[in-house]
A and B are shown apart, each in its own frame.
Chain A
Amino acid sequence: MGRSQSRARVDGALVAPPTLLAGCAALVALAVVLGVGIGAVRIAPWDTVRILLGHAGLATSVDQQQDAILWAIRLPRVLLGILVGGALAVSGAALQGIFRNPLADPTIVGVASGASVGAVAAILLGLSGAVYGGIQIAAFVGGMIAVLVVYALARQDGRTETVTLVLVGVAVAAIAGAAVGLMIASADDDELRDIVFWSLGSVGGATWTLVLPTAPFVAVGAAAALTQTRALDLLSLGEREAAHLGVEVERVRILLVVALALATSAAVAAAGIVAFIGLIVPHVIRLVGGPSHRVVLPASFLAGGAAVAFADLVARTVVAPVELPLGVVTALVGGPLFLWLVLRTRQRHGGWA
């Protein structure tokens, strides 16, 4: 009995794709309403809707104080959380597809650490204020370089071994960490504060001036990844097999790596390194909705966005008025969840290696 149930689970989707996507979208909506409503000043859901409508020019007579808190402080923060979580989760899902390896994720593949080098360099060079999207572009360059290095070193004969991937990722992350450390050592006090604040992994500093430059990078990266879902499905057969089925493998891979570096780097530039989202969210989505990337990619984007928005809500409310770093919350939840996934996979398929 138990066995046949678990068989059904391994074999297909528990939930049909439209239901899953609708559910994930509902989670995002819930995260927005709760995220802007809960805090020192509570704003009821219907007031939230009225305030939002007011900004669309459709309603009048809103509470000016509530309006200011919602529009200037909480909404950008929630939206940034959604963008960051969505970018990390969709990048994780697509990277896992490219590498045919469920352990791939923006932090492990080195994009995140490379992006952090770029972002810190941009802060030191004063690019953040000087150029629109300056940090984002610098993070993108750093992330791109790192992922290309990992990609070139970890692959052999068209395959990526898990162990090699992890080891190369660790090495690249260590080198990137050293580079960040060197830059921190040479920073003055103001720069230092900026860097430390940024590196804790937080969407706490969110303003519209941070959300607006992040959004197009995430949108373009995620949209580009979404055009390649069928190719990603075919790639899960192997590169040679995908090529036999008409996929221009090299072109698809390069397009995806650039797209993901774009989305991830923007997320890292805005919020630092938020752990485990890129690894965990796609796994959970696959468990619920099956492996097809046409479902996994969009659902991961939505669920990842909701997850970070909720994690941020927890981070700023559990021990209020003190805020926990966002990365701490995601790691506290994601770490144990990941261990459970590893143990479960070992039981079912004899491991990932």
Chain B
Amino acid sequence: MGLSLLVARGVGGVLRGTTVLADVDLELEPGELLAIAGPNGAGKSTLLRLLAGDRAPATGTVELGGSSIAGLPRRELARRRAVMPQHTSIGFGFTVRQVVEMGCNPLRASYDGVEDVVGEALARTGIPHLADRSFRTLSGGEQALATFARVLAQCTPVLLLDEPTASLDLNHQERVMRIARGVADGGGGVVVVAHDLNLAAAYADRICLLHRGRVVTTGTPWTTLQAPILEDVFGQRMLVTPSPDDGSPLVVPVRGA
């Protein structure tokens, strides 16, 4: 077990003087897809930023591939983890292929199979036909897939995805999550900030439920997604039932009287 890809210990974050995250412990094993869930403002995105090394945590430490991220130069960080942002816009009319190639930047110095990597990333996301289109002319779902291809082209053992399925239709949501699942099944580690509990339940090995900047519980979908916990965290009565499809927990808000 000892070889966790990503370890956070006692991590806390402060935003404009307010503590938005405190005492978060997290471990990501190879082959694991971990979802971070919680209501708006729970600190999910802040946690992802700290895990990504965007800024230093106010307290605690984050270790990536065995070394503290505080001491790693940007380029070395970029070889160990890739980050998919919530929204992507691009300054100029680059083609999808050019955007995906940008993902290979950290590899460039030591590797010359960039074209193969780009081709594989396009194939895995199912968008080879979009390769020569301008990124800006794509639909939201296509842009998300192209950005995901860019993230895959970075060839890192750890992927950090910040609400990758926000604003995507059902088909694209499932596609993105299937690919993420595939990365984990291939021995990588994936952290997904998830808004959709059912999507998290269907694809994640473990769910880390955040509330007001603290971890409420971390564990398998069935242990974390329990009606009393959810009602407490989201302030909404919930019904949890096995999905008729695959038996994973299905969370349904109680709407009737």
Q: Which of B54, B85, B102, B132 contacts A234 (CB 8 A)?
A: B102
Q: Does B89 contact A (CB under 8 A)?
A: yes
B-chain residues with CB within 8 Å of residue A39 when the two chains form the complex = none
Q: Which of B54, B77, B98, B132 meets A292, CB within 8 Å?
A: B98
- Report A-chain residues with C-beta under 8 Å of the C-beta of B79: 246
- What is the number of residues of chain B that contact chain A, defined by CB distance less than 8 Å? 31
Q: A12-B132, A234-B102, A234-B105 are in contact. Are A244 and B82 (CB under 8 A)?
A: yes
| Residue pair B78, A238 in contact (C-beta under 8 Å) | no
Residues 32-62 of B at the A interface (beta carbon under 8 Å): 52, 54
Taking a contact as CB atoms closer than 8 A, the residue among A10, A234, A244, A248 that contacts B52 in the complex is: A244
Q: Which chain A residue shows the least CB distance to B81? A: A244
Known pairs A241-B88, A246-B74, A246-B78; list 20 more (Cβ under 8 Å): A11-B93, A11-B133, A12-B95, A12-B134, A96-B91, A101-B91, A230-B105, A233-B94, A233-B98, A235-B91, A236-B90, A237-B88, A244-B82, A246-B105, A247-B105, A286-B92, A290-B93, A290-B95, A291-B98, A292-B98
B-facing residues in A72-131 (Cβ within 8 Å): 96-97, 100-102
Q: Is the CB of B88 within 8 A of A240?
A: no
Interface residues of A (CB under 8 A from B): 7, 10-12, 96-97, 100-102, 230, 233-238, 240-241, 243-248, 286, 290-292, 349
Select one of A238, A245, A248, A291 contacting B105, CB under 8 A. A245
- B residues 129-187 near A (Cβ < 8 Å) are 132-134, 136-137, 154
Pairs of residues from A and B, 7 with the lowest C-beta to C-beta distance, nearest first: A246-B78, A291-B92, A236-B91, A100-B91, A246-B75, A246-B106, A244-B83
B93 to chain A, nearest CB (A): 5
Residue contact B78 to A237, C-beta cutoff 8 Å: no
Q: Given the complex, which residues of A lie within 8 Å of B154, measured CB to CB? A: 245
**Interface, chain B (partner A; CB < 8 A):** 52, 54, 73-75, 77-79, 82-83, 85, 88-95, 98-99, 102-103, 105-106, 132-134, 136-137, 154
Residues on B with C-beta less than 8 A from A247 are 74, 105
CB of A249, distance to nearest CB on chain B (Å)? 8
**A262 shortest CB reach to chain B, Å:** 24
Residues of A within 8 A of B132 (CB): 11-12
CB-CB < 8 A to B94: which residues of A?
Answer: 233, 236, 290-292
Q: Which residue of B lies closest to A248 (CB)?
A: B74
Name the residue of chain B whose CB is nearest to the CB of A230. Answer: B105
Q: CA of A349 to CA of B137 in the docked complex: distance in angstroms?
A: 9
- State whether A237 touches B134 (Cβ < 8 A): no
Q: Identify the interface centre among A96, A245, A292, A349: most chain B CB within 10 Å of its CB.
A: A245
18 contacts between A and B (CB under 8 A): A10-B134, A11-B95, A11-B132, A230-B105, A233-B94, A236-B91, A237-B99, A243-B74, A244-B82, A244-B83, A245-B103, A246-B74, A248-B73, A286-B93, A290-B93, A290-B94, A291-B92, A292-B94
For B133, list chain A residues within 8 Å (CB).
11
| Cβ contact within 8 Å between A245 and B91 | no
How far is the CB of A251 from the nearest CB of chain B, in Å? 10
Considering only CB atoms, which chain A residue lies closest to B75 in the complex?
A: A246
Tell me the bound Cα distance from A235 to B89 in angstroms. 11
Determine the chain B residues whose CB is within 8 A of the CB of A234 once the complex forms: 102, 105
* Contact B93–A245 (Cβ < 8 Å): no
A10-B134, A233-B102 are known contacts. Are A246 and B91 too (CB-CB below 8 A)? no
Which of A236, A243, A244, A292 is most buried by chain B, counting CB atoms within 10 A of its CB? A244
In angstroms, Cα B53 to Cα A248, docked, is 13
Would you call A241 and B136 a contact (CB within 8 A)? no
